[in-house]
Amino acid sequence: MAPETRAYRIRGAAQLVLILFGQSIGFIGYLLTGLFRDNAWPTMWPIIAICWYGLGIVIHIGVRVAIPYADPIMTPLVLTLTGLGLAELHRIDLTSDTSPMLYTQFFATLIGVAAFLAVIFLLKDPHRLKGYPFLLSALGFVLLLLPLIPGLGTSVYGSRIWINIAGFSFQPAEIAKIVLAASFAAYLADKREVLSSAGRRVLGVDLPRMRDLGPVMVMWGLSLAIMVFENDLGTSLLFFGLFVMMIYVATGKASWIILGLALFAAGGAAVIRFAGHVQRRIDFWLHPFDYPDDATQIIQAQFGLSHGGLLGSGWGLGRPDLIIFSYSDMISAALGEEIGIVGLMAVIVLYALLVFRGLKTSLLAMDPFIKLFAAGLSFAFLLQTFAIIGGVTRLLPLTGLTTPFLSQGGSSVIANWLLIAILMVMSHRARSPLTQLEVSASGVTELAEEHTQVFSTRELAQIGTGAIHPVQSITAHQVRLGPDGRPLDTVDDTPKETGADTPDWSGDEELTQAASVPGLGMTQPFTPFTGDHAQGEEITTHLDPASATGVEITRHLDTASATGEEVTTFLDTAPATGEDASAPRPTPPDTRTGADPADDDYFGRGTE
Amino acid sequence: MNRHIRFVSLVSALMVFALLGNLTYINLAREDSLEASPYNTRARQADFDVHRGQILAGDTVIADSVPSTDQSSFTYQRVYANGPLYAPITGFFSYIYGTSRIENSYNRDLAGSSSSQWLQHLIDVASGRTPQGASVVTTINPTLQQAAWNALQGYDGAIVAMDPHTGAVLALVTSPSYDPNLLASHDLGAVQDSWAQLTTDPTDPMTDRGTRETYPPGSTFKLVVASAALEKGYTPDTMIDTPSSLQLPNSSSWLSNSTNCGDTQVTLARALQMSCNTAFANLGAALGQDAIRAQADKFGFDTTHLPELGGAASRFPTGLDDAQLMLSSIGQFNVAATPLQMGMVVSALVNGGQLAEPYLVDEVRAPDLQVLYTHDTHVTQVVSPATAQSMQDMMVAVVANGTGTAARIPGVTVGGKSGTAETDSDNPNYAWFVSYALNPDIVVSVFLQRDEKTPVDLWGGANAAPLAKEVILASR
């Protein structure tokens, strides 16, 4: 059962090759547009090539220096999408009267990349964001509701999700999705135990307790308000879906999903019934051909996709001029017409890959806040992409959201680069052996959830001899150890400066003690497991708390099962590999390896 | 928590698959209907850039594409040689308003994008030749078409001529008509003006009165009732009660004859010859509505015909009471038929009781003259040969010495049946004459509609029959 230990290497070369390859897809599109439309290479192409590939190399170097262990596929994916978007915007420039969007969009991308670099160099620890849940929530809600302020918000094609400041238009939802993902993560990481508590059981489903419904109802009301007053189903779906998904991940209770879907369906049905403009959007979606003058976007997008066919009309040979907002909301239709249904499918798969890399980061992370934050950002990104591409292709009613990295629009580009930056910092921390070593050097390991403890057989042997001891974990308060293995404090939440050679605690709050740290006072040795179990075999031992006097085996403080908890232990003879041999501590953090990834309660690193 | 994140990944994957599946659906299931949509300017733009195939009437080109000489971005200009004359057949080919009739129903062949032309299309593209569409050869006889057009001048209505043995439509004229060149113009502003003018014209010049509109067939429907009677064992000599007027059952209305049929009994042949209303009212009541409807449906009622033009289905109403049945038996009440349908009734009777399904397109020819499609005649027996022969004899008597004498041609066997339908004083009245001639065999259905231009009532025998005669003469 025990999978092999996986250590992540720095994949610099792979990242660079993928970046250049991905960038070339959009660049070739740019060249073909000129070739197909004018039978000539675009005159500017050498300068464009230098700027474009230069940008990719700068990003590569930035990532390599600041966050070398970060997922090597994310930046190539983002640059592929950016390139496709720039090429399509350039192509739309050629048949429209508006000022060239290629340069403004490239400039926005430069600012986005600058923001990206700033984050990866300066935000060493995303955990710091956890400290301000209420400030973040308030900021997020204000951002979401900004477009409703008269004179500030502007209505574009029925959706009131833009604000206009000093001539610059801005979609606050773009930033709000990051801010709210952080605030939800902070709130839920704190309250997940409480929210897990079951309320009444109805039809075989454990409903949450009534008093825990407050935040859900707030989000529900907010999302319905967005639907009614901003007339945008996509934005509404984005934030409510994000919240419901995060509360599910935090608590593991499917009832939250059921409750969320039911609330959204009921609220949505009521809104559709009583708000005529929302009903109109639904009609445009279901019967666009009954409204040939009003549903032109949807109709033309359909015509474009079907006329482009499987392989597309070719770069520069479609008719984006027939699609209103082909450069923003509808860019996936404009692109799909020219690169074909197959090409658009490939773009969707690029988005999917990006999302799954983000979710992978969430799986790898140790800390519940980081896990929730990463999963939230990834899922918000997916929901946004789903809502807008689904709207354009008539899977859903059309919304006014931007298509990440493709759509024209500075706020969208910058916000999404920030989102990727945060995900990549988290990815770097999750994958970096240095982080692990720093933590183990300090004598502290994060075990985010204390259901289970994992030992290697070598450790089990050491436990048997009393050389090491299983974790002492106290969920309600924390144990911190100094370099000498002595507890620094037991109750104080705030990090303390304990000496010149004390590592930085980085504000970690839920620290637990690793098994590999000797010297914690144990009055009674732990009964060792003997070697007559097969390698990797799963051993489950029920410990009666009474018989393990003085030893508090890691335990899940669930009131429903306060006694006779089940502690699942895994055996793994495979020593941790791939760690830096020159690391200061000889004992690798084996506690993180070897778990069955299918085990729901194991909270360590998964396998790749 | 990891299990829950994995579940979220699964949900995410399903959402991605929903997007991909929906795109597949657009491509597989919706592409044809989207491409055919009249709003689809892209498809039309593409059609405007190919050398569109010709539409022919025999050897005469009635729609052609020629290289564009104007300043527009379009490569070819669609030209209709005699636009108003052939408008109900060709339809129009407009950038803004889409296509109609054969331009619409044979669009894929004409544009060279039909599945049978894909290989040629590929070779053309690869060899740098401009792909050219296939030609559509119609069954229309230009001489007859022109004769019918000339005959119809001064009336609103339609004339349909067909070959009774094959079902080939030889002439299809509707009046008033319009010039499809006005809509095919590359001057899109002028096209919009023309469209506005044509669609608001009270005389409905874009309406095809021959195949797409149904009208009360009046006494011409007596051919169907008489055929049903003969099939039920009646003979032309069977005597039928024919009072000079008849009170409709459970009604205060009286039905009377508009010709002199006496006040006793007449034979079935005489009743048809003189178009005796009371005789057919009684006959219809005796046969029952189901028998009449069954016979009408065999003749082609309740089915659409000439789908390439979007032809309408004629109908005999259901759920009639006795009074309604009597009125329906003389082609009034809610009986509605296209001029094409009434021509089909005569066709079947002339063709030994076998109805040849009407058709308009003989063949589709690729630019290299390879034939991509030819029509196969499809016939069904709708009355017995004996009934057909009796009906022919009775129709000849109508022309020889009845209500249709205006269609008489010395030395030629001509048969027919007149019809005059009046719904009420506010509605226009309709005049019909359905007829045939032998050697060469031809069926001509004439339909006239009263409007402001014709201040007096129209009569089938007086007004419609001479038009049929002109067309028959032109066929000889």
Where is average pLDDT lowest: A130-139, A217-226, A417-426, B188-197? Answer: A217-226
Q: Is position A1 within any domain?
A: no
Say if B226 falls within a structural domain.
yes
Distance CA A65, CA A4 (A): 29
**Are the Cβ atoms of B2 and A368 closer than 8 angstroms?**
no
Question: In terms of domains, do A299 and A171 share one?
Answer: yes
Quick check: B18 and A395 CB within 8 A?
yes
Tens of pLDDT, residues B1-55? 888 899 999 999 999 999 999 998 887 888 878 887 778 878 777 778 788 999 9
- The residue type found at B96 is I
Cβ atoms of A367 and A448 closer than 8 Å: yes
* Neighbour tally for A290: CB within 10 Å: 10
The answer to whether A341 contacts B26, with C-beta atoms less than 8 Å apart, is yes
Taking a C-beta distance cutoff of 8 angstroms, is the pair B79, B63 a contact? yes
Residue in chain A lying closest to B39 (CA): A292
pLDDT greater at residue A395 or residue A555: A395
Determine contact: B34 vs chain A, CB below 8 A: yes
Structural domain contains residue A4: no
| pLDDT, tens only, B430-464 | 999 999 999 999 999 999 987 666 667 788 888 99
A303 and chain B: CB distance < 8 Å anywhere? yes
In eight-state DSSP terms, residue B366 is -
The answer to the question of residue A386 being in a domain is yes
- A284 located within any domain: yes
Q: Does any domain span residue B76?
A: no
B371 CB within 8 Å of a chain A CB: no
A403 touches chain B (CB under 8 A): no
DSSP, res A321: G
**Residue B275: predicted pLDDT:** 92
- How many percent of chain B have pLDDT more than 90? 69
Determine, yes or no, domain membership for A201: yes
Counts for chain B of helices (H) and strands (E), in that order: 18, 19
| Distance (Å) from the alpha carbon of B227 to chain A's nearest alpha carbon | 45
Highest mean pLDDT among A253-262, B417-426, B457-466: B457-466
Lowest-confidence range among A343-357, B350-364, B415-429?
Answer: B415-429
Question: Quick check: A65 contacting B, CB < 8 Å?
Answer: no
Q: Would you say the pTM of this structure is higher than 0.90?
A: no
The alpha-helical segments, DSSP class H, found in A309-367 are 331-364
Q: Assess contact for A357 and A344: CB atoms under 8 A.
A: no
Give the closest residue to B156 by CA, choosing from B181, B186, B176, B179: B176
Q: Is A248 in contact with B24 (Cβ distance < 8 A)?
A: no
Q: Evaluate whether residue B278 is within a structural domain.
A: yes
Residue A513 lies in a domain: yes
Least confident residue range of A160-169, A384-393, B416-425: A160-169
Residue of higher predicted confidence among A200 and B435: B435
Mean pLDDT of A359-375: 91
Amino acid A512: pLDDT? 36
Q: A interface mutation test: which of B8, B24, B73, B95 has the most A CBs within 10 A?
A: B8
Measure A364 CA to nearest chain B CA, in Å.
Answer: 9
Look up the ipTM and state it.
0.71
* Distance of residue B111 Cα from the nearest chain A Cα, in angstroms: 15
> In chain B, which residue's Cα lies nearest the Cα of A348?
B16
Separation in Å, CA of A164 to nearest CA in chain B? 32
- Token digits of residue A374: 């990463």
A363: which chain B residues are within 8 Å (Cβ-Cβ)? 2, 5-6
B12 touching chain A per CB within 8 A: yes
Q: How confident is the model at residue A376 (pLDDT cuts 50, 70, 90)?
A: very high
Same domain, A42 and A88: yes
Query: In this complex, do A359 and B8 lie within 8 Å of one another by their Cβ atoms?
Result: yes
Both A400 and A448 in one domain: the answer is no
Out of A39-43, A320-324, A471-475, B38-42, pick the least confident: A471-475
Asked if B111 has any chain A CB less than 8 Å from its own CB, the reply is no
Specify whether A427 is located in the same domain as A438: no
**Do the domain assignments include residue B25?**
no
From chain A, the residues in CB contact with B49 under 8 A are none
Domain of B330, CATH number, reads 3.40.710.10
| Pairwise CB contact (< 8 Å): A386 & B15 | yes
Quick check: B306 pLDDT over 60? yes
d(CA A466, CA A410): 60
Which of B5, B37, B45 lies nearest to residue A249, judging by beta carbons? B5
Least confident of A195-204, A216-225, A562-571: A562-571
| A560 & A547 share domain | yes
Contact B5 A356 (CB under 8 A): no
Q: Write down which residue in A431, A458, A493 finishes a domain.
A: A431
| Inside any domain, residue A193 | yes
DSSP, residue by residue, A380-395: HHHHHHHHHHHHHTTS
Is A105 in the same domain as A247?
Answer: yes
Range of the domain at A525: 433-608
Taking residues A285-297, report their average pLDDT. Answer: 85
> Based on the domain organization, do A268 and A155 belong to the same domain?
yes
Any domain includes B72: no
How many structural domains is chain B composed of?
Answer: 1
Give B117 to chain A, closest Cα distance, Å. Answer: 18
Same domain as A504, residue A456? yes
pLDDT of residue A562: 36
- Final residue belonging to a domain, choices A389, A416, A431: A431
Give me the domain span that covers residue B356: 218-360+377-474
B346, part of any domain? yes
Among A431, A462, A485, residue at a domain's last position? A431
Residue B106 has pLDDT above 60, yes or no: yes
Q: Tell me the chain B residues in contact with residue A292 when contact means C-beta distances shorter than 8 Å.
A: 39
**Does residue B45 sit in helix, strand or coil?**
helix
Q: Is the peptide bond before B180 cis (omega within 30 degrees of 0)?
A: no
In terms of domains, do A404 and A441 share one? no
List the catalytic residues of B. Answer: 219
Q: Is residue B196 situated within a structural domain?
A: no
Give the total number of structural domains in chain A.
2
pLDDT band at A435 (very low <50, low <70, confident <90, very high): low
In a domain, B106, yes or no: no
Averaged pLDDT for residues B98-113? 88
A3, part of any domain? no
Q: Are residues A71 and A88 in the same domain?
A: yes
The mean predicted confidence, pLDDT, of chain B is 90
Note whether A346 contacts B: Cβ–Cβ < 8 A.
no
User: Looking at the structure, do residues A361 and A461 belong to the same domain, yes or no?
Assistant: no
Q: pLDDT digit string (tens) for B170-186? A: 999 999 999 999 999 98
Q: Please check whether residues A424 and A437 belong to one and the same domain.
A: no
Mean pLDDT of A491-515: 38
Residue located via tokens 């935000």:
A123
- pLDDT level of residue B240 (50, 70, 90 thresholds): very high
Residue B160, pLDDT > 50, answer yes
